[in-house]
Chains A and B, each alone.
Chain A
Amino acid sequence: MSLDKATVRKIATLARIDVPETDLESTVQQLSGILKWIEQLAEVNTDGVAPMSGGTDLKLPWRPDAVTDGGKVDAVLANAPDAQDGFFGVPKVVE
């Protein structure tokens, strides 16, 4: 699978990554190369093999429904550039 410029432009917008028009062609080449490399996996015969979520036999750990966290508003806001009255302040987002 290879990508075109329009697709890469769209993905960049969705990911909020600024890819200048002059870099677009080289980004197309690089991303296409990565996809092509990953596509080698399709060569493996997986007939009769159930889909797996990974190569290890890890199970999803569960935790009991107990309150063990929270109550640390200062730590949560420590890196916020514009914290006010316990809130994160951000530029106005109007619906």
Chain B
Amino acid sequence: MSYVIKGETGQWEVVIGLEVHAQVISKSKLFSGAPTEFGAGPNTQVSFIDAGMPGMLPVINAHAVEQAVRTGLGLKAKINQRSVFARKNYFYADLPQGYQISQYDMPIVGEGTLILDMPDGTTRAIGIERLHLEQDAGKSVHDMHPSKTFIDLNRAGVPLMEIVSKPDLRSPEEAGLYLKKLRSILRYLGTCDGNMEEGSMRCDANVSVRPVGSTELRTRCEIKNVNSVRFVMQAIEHEAMRHVDVYESGGSINQETRLYDSNKGETRPMRSKEFAHDYRYFPDPDLQPLEFDDAFVAAIKSKLPELPDDKQARFIKDYGLSAYDAGVLVAEQENALYFEEVAKGRDAKLANNWVSSNLFGVLNARGVAIGDSPVSAKNLGRLLDLIADNTLSSRMAKEVFEIMAETGNAPDAIVEERGMKQITDTGAIDAAIDQIIAQNADKVEQYRSGKEQLMGWFVGQVMKATQGKANPGVCGELLRKKLKS
């Protein structure tokens, strides 16, 4: 079902392209040896190059180049063995050089593809237009002084990858899925940590609308620097509605840059300076073209990890999981690793249920990452073994799991300590059943005269009598036998 805005005059389709700025994981900056660590004291991670001092020359960080190529390969994109750094000129207080070193008409990575898994089980291929390397700017602090802005250049010169999608996205939901998938791929590759709150992944959304059935591209607006997946989706929704309202009331849209106000749920124009978009790009005379050979690319390619799409396909094939279940597990590499450790040599579907529902439930409720899970993969695996060998019923297993989540203890120890072993010994269950039958002659009569739904009540009574330790399978079987006779 495609996303459509119902207006007064008809139905409208939304056209979205995303530009993601992803901070490259590196120790030092793109063109200087100053560190990139987050949260250091102001201007403590600044070289004279980052501060735009005269006469300083930039030298490219080899690792940043590798990271960009690695990301390009992960996006199945064309790698350009020759690319050119250009100066993007504009004046702002946190840009000491007066220009940002970026790439313009010759980026390091060209066209690629990103696959979205839609909730209905289908997939959508979204085009990647390009990926280029550039420097980040410094940070402006506006709220420390009534008449001054304070500038911290620690971030100035930090390597960024700008990843630009084609205008292939058609709903806020697709935009959200795109961001999550891109973040997942970047994390697998180890090229960006994808942390939107700390600003190591930032998103600009280009939004326009058109009547359903039309193929024209109308004037777009760019919504800048939205800092969470949810806000990107909300901002697109509001912006698309605004366009529809403007067109339907006879107006026209101006190409402009807007900001999303998440409190008010609306976008508003940025106070833009005149000529703000006239960046006068030209090749940076301080930097020769960036060139590398096939062997450089091949070496990076040979060390790529198994990526989410491939892992998902393997989980479907090897473990018999649904595309959706596999997709949930592979979104984060650590989750997939955990699952595989639990599933190894065991019932994979059962393992998936325990990991995706029970474990993720506990982790989400507590806001804990899987790396800090109180229940280790080894212990969860043991719990599954105890279910498989009938030591625990699934109900008891849930109780044991809760204790594991509280204490971090191994399931065997918990079962031992609390005497939670399931009773499969028919003698003990027999006795309990006999007693219940003797005490409830009326119910037995009703059951025998055809009211078979009473079976559930009998099983419940036996469970109660055995403090929940009776094996429900054995219990049901014995009950049926005894009630018949």
Q: Which residues of A contact B (CB under 8 A)?
A: 10, 13-14, 16, 53-54, 58-73, 75-77, 82, 84-95
Contacts and interface: CB of A to CB of B under 8 A. Distances in A.
Nearest to B42: A86
B28 A14 contact: no
Contact of B149 (A71, A72, A75, A91): A91
A59 B291 contact: yes
Contacts of A64: 61-63
A94 B147 CA distance: 10
Given A13-B274, A60-B289, A65 B59 contact: no
A63 B33 contact: yes
A91 B147 contact: yes
B43 A87 contact: yes
Nearest to B259: A95
A63 B288 contact: no
Contact of B152 (A63, A70, A87): A87
Contacts of B301: none
A68 B33 contact: yes
Interface stretch (B44-52, B164-172, B177-185, B208-216): B44-52
Contact of A53 (B27, B48, B51, B283): B283
8 contacts: A53-B84, A58-B288, A60-B287, A70-B33, A70-B44, A85-B42, A93-B149, A94-B142
Given A13-B275, A60-B288, A92 B149 contact: yes
Contact of B151 (A63, A68, A69, A90): A90
Contacts of B287: 60
A76 B43 contact: yes
Which residue, of B42, B65, B145, has the highest number of chain A Cβ atoms within 10 A? B42
B35 A63 contact: no
Interface of B: 26-28, 32-35, 41-49, 51, 59-65, 84, 89, 91-93, 140-142, 144-153, 259, 270-271, 274-275, 278, 280, 283, 287-291
B34 A69 contact: yes
A76 B51 contact: yes
A93 B42 contact: no
Contacts of A75: 48
Given A61-B59, A69-B32, A16 B147 contact: no
Contacts, number: 137
Contact of A65 (B26, B44, B51, B290): B26
A73 to B, nearest CB: 5
Nearest to A85: B42
Given A14-B278, A93-B142, A76 B153 contact: yes
B61 A63 contact: yes
A33 to B, nearest CB: 20
Closest 7 CB pairs of A and B: A68-B33, A65-B63, A70-B34, A87-B150, A69-B33, A69-B47, A86-B42
Contacts of A62: 59-62, 65
A90 B151 CA distance: 8
A67 B34 contact: yes
B43 A88 contact: yes
Contacts of A61: 59-60
Contacts of B145: 84, 89, 92
Contacts of A10: 275, 278
Contacts of B91: 16
Nearest to B284: A53
Nearest to B91: A16
